[in-house]
């Protein structure tokens, strides 16, 4: 039997990096990531070449939306960023971040080692450290979060592209463990409705057999409200991709201009980037269907 195109969840990091490389080469890119091609490699490009074209606009829009949320959060006082399952993300090298910002990446040992080797000669713009952490181990995760946030006053957690590959009970455990850390005030993540998860899985055929999508909460934001979080932002990736000019299909461009389903609709078709605040935090709730 031939080796599957996507061998594990870590290969999805190469896939996303390949799309960032493509975006960087555009005449008017939404962002520039000169390191993406090095991290994507031939496997990442091969995955991107065989993936559904819908995945590209989703992942590029997701990258840009999260970029803007991070920059805004740091401007508003975040002093520490924890990027869990960071993959081949390069934001500490390419975003306009203050040099004294602490940025901590956590991921599997093999991926951390590969990334360290690939970027050994590159200089991040902020105080970047990486740790090999088994985030699936609840005791290890709790110890890491406590230690990583010990000197932080206002920490932001990013779990880009992680929740979709986890079982709902694991996402619930993660949400509770983050809420248990007083310094963690905000969480940025992406997730989709059950219908979108099924459509995305079907569009990839058997390529995701080794990294199946498992998380698509029918009640959307409500899932996280039960675990100590509340919504401060909910940004439709379809609407954002339309505003960014990344939808090739004219029908999709029309759909992007229509009112988007709220991310609580059990039978809706929505895929969002959410910014969640601790339930105890006092912050205005804003529902956004795209970037302004």
Interval 165-190: pLDDT, tens: 999 999 999 999 999 999 999 999 99
Residue 178: Cβ-neighbour burial (10 angstroms; 0-12, 13-18, 19+): buried
pLDDT score of 210: 64
Cα–Cα distance, 130 to 123 (Å, whole number): 14
Element spanning 191, H or E: strand 184-192
Distance between CA atoms of 180 and 172, rounded to whole angstroms?
12
Measured distance CA(292)–CA(24) in Å, rounded: 22
Give yes or no for residue 281 having a pLDDT over 60.
no
What average pLDDT does the chain have? 90
Average pLDDT over residues 245-254: 94
Q: Greater confidence, 203 or 102?
A: 102
Structural domains of the chain sorted by starting position, each given as residue range(s) with its CATH number in brackets: 53-278 (3.40.50.150)
Q: Reduced to 3 states, what is the DSSP secondary structure of residue 238? A: helix
Instruction: Give CA–CA dist 272/235, Å, rounded.
Output: 5
Q: Residue 286 pLDDT > 70, yes or no?
A: no
The pTM score is 0.92
Structure tokens at 277: 């605040």
Give the N- to C-terminal CA distance of the chain in Å, as an integer: 48
pLDDT above 90 covers a percentage of the chain that reads: 77
Give the chain's radius of gyration (CA, Å). Answer: 18
Residue 123: is it exposed, middle or buried by C-beta count within 10 angstroms (0-12/13-18/19+)?
exposed
Give the per-residue pLDDT at 209. 67
Residue entry with tokens 């975006």: 23
d(CA 7, CA 191): 22
- At 11 the pLDDT is 86
250-274 residue pLDDT tens? 999 999 999 988 898 878 899 999 9
Q: 3-45: per-residue pLDDT in tens?
A: 667 777 788 899 999 999 999 999 999 999 999 999 999 999 9
Identify the pLDDT of residue 195.
Answer: 92
Coil, strand, or helix at residue 273?
strand
Query: Residue holding tokens 């496997």?
Result: 43
Query: pLDDT at position 3, please?
Result: 65
**Burial of 203 (C-beta count, 10 Å sphere; 0-12/13-18/19+):** middle
Residues 117-173 have pLDDT tens digits of: 999 999 999 999 999 999 888 999 999 999 999 999 999 999 999 999 999 999 999
pLDDT tens-digit readout, 52-108: 777 899 999 999 999 999 999 999 999 999 999 999 999 999 999 999 999 999 999
In the sheet that holds 229-236, the strands lie side by side as 127-132, 102-107, 80-84, 155-159, 184-192, 271-278, 229-236
Q: Tell me which residue of 30, 68, 83 sits closest to 233, measured CA to CA.
A: 68
Q: What is the pLDDT of residue 288?
A: 43
The residue ranking higher by pLDDT, 267 or 292, is 267
């Amino acid at each position: 039997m031939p080796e599957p195109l996507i061998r594990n969840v870590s290969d999805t990091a190469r896939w996303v990096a390949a799309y960032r490389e493509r975006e960087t080469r555009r005449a008017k890119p939404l962002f520039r990531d000169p390191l993406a091609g090095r991290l994507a490699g031939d496997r990442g490009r091969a995955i991107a070449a065989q993936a559904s074209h819908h995945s590209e606009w989703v992942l590029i829009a997701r990258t840009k939306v999260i970029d803007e949320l991070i920059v805004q959060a740091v401007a508003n006082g975040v002093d520490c960023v924890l990027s869990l399952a960071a993959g081949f993300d390069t934001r500490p090298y390419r975003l306009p971040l203050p040099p004294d910002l602490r940025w901590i990446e956590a991921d599997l040992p093999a991926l951390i080692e590969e990334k360290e080797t690939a970027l050994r000669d590159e200089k991040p713009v902020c105080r970047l450290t990486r740790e090999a952490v088994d985030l699936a181990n609840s005791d290890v995760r709790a110890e890491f979060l406590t230690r990583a946030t010990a000197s932080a006053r206002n920490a932001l957690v990013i779990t880009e592209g992680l929740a979709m590959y986890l079982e709902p009970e694991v996402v619930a455990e993660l949400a509770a463990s983050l809420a248990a850390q007083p310094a963690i005030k905000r969480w940025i993540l992406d997730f989709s409705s059950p219908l979108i998860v099924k459509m995305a899985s079907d569009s990839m055929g058997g390529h995701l057999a080794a990294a199946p999508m498992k998380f698509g909460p029918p009640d959307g934001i409500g899932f996280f409200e039960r675990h100590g979080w509340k919504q401060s932002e909910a940004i439709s990736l379809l609407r954002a991709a339309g505003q960014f000019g990344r939808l090739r299909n004219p029908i999709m461009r029309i759909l992007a201009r229509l009112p988007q389903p709220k991310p609580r609709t059990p039978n809706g078709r929505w895929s969002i980037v959410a910014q969640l605040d601790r339930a105890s935090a006092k912050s205005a709730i804003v529902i956004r269907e795209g970037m302004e």
